[in-house]
Structure formats: C-alpha cells, structure tokens
C-alpha cells in the first residue's frame, strides 16, 4: 500500500517520545539525527489507521552520515507480560535525515498506537 500524503504536521507527543528514546542510543550520526527532531514533520501515514509515518526534515539541518538507511538500534516492543509484539524501525534518507518511523508488528491486529516508554523499554498494552 502506498503512503497516504497528508498536510505536513509536527511530530505528535508519542512520535517524538519514541524517536527521542531510539535516538538516545549512541551510534554514528545519532547526534545529528537528534538535532533534526525540532525540524521534523510528518508528511504521510502508511494507511488510514497506521501509526507508521513518513517524515521530512525542514531546512536548515545538520546531515547525519549513517552507512545505511536504517538506524542501527534494536528497538523491540513487548507487551506488559513480556511477549514480543514487534519493533520500531527508524529510517533515514540515504543516512542523512530522518525519513520514516515504522511500527513493524507481529500480532494479529495492527497497533493503533505507538508503544510507551516504560522503565526505559518500549511497551505496548496487551
């Protein structure tokens, strides 16, 4: 399914919290990606009820230099019982700017919200 374009909007509180959590890890380009958060907008959703979104960073911004498009952070999501329910993937545009926030789930039902940060971990309600 192709992303559904929307009028650009700022990150909502949940999107920002998840991105801040993932980008708090230390990796090549992390500080540059963190510096882009205040200039990041959501420009598309991955479906009418999807919490996965495409991002765009407004100029001016500092380019990151990631060797790959995927941010190298293991961001597994577990429910309160500890069961693995998916992971959060943060994509970049050629390693330079934030490009997408994806909740890749393995449950029967598509998540209707992003996970919360609970005790430093990504947690999704059962």
- Residue 2's pLDDT is 72
Q: Work out the mean pLDDT of the chain and round it to a whole number.
A: 94
- Residue 27's pLDDT is 95
Residue 126 pLDDT level (bands cut at 50, 70, 90): low
The mean pLDDT of 88-97, rounded to a whole number, is: 95
> Which residue, among 13, 1, 114, 92, has the nearest Cα to 48 in the 3D structure?
1
Q: How many domains does the chain have?
A: 1
pLDDT in tens, 10-64: 999 999 999 999 999 999 999 999 999 999 999 999 998 899 999 999 999 999 9
Domain membership of residue 110 as a residue range: 4-123
Cα 69 from Cα 56, distance rounded (Å): 14
């Amino acid at each position: 399914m192709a992303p559904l374009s929307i009028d650009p909007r700022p990150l909502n509180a949940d999107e920002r919290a998840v991105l801040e959590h993932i980008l708090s890890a230390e990796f090549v380009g992390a500080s540059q990606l963190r510096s882009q958060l205040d200039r990041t907008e959501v420009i598309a959703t991955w479906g009418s009820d999807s919490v996965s979104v495409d991002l765009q960073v407004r100029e001016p911004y500092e380019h990151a230099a990631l060797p790959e498009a995927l941010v190298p952070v293991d961001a597994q999501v577990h429910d309160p019982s500890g069961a693995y329910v998916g992971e959060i993937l943060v994509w970049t545009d050629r390693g330079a700017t934030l490009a997408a926030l994806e909740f890749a789930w393995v449950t029967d039902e598509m998540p209707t919200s992003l996970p919360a940060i609970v005790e430093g971990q990504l947690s999704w309600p059962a």
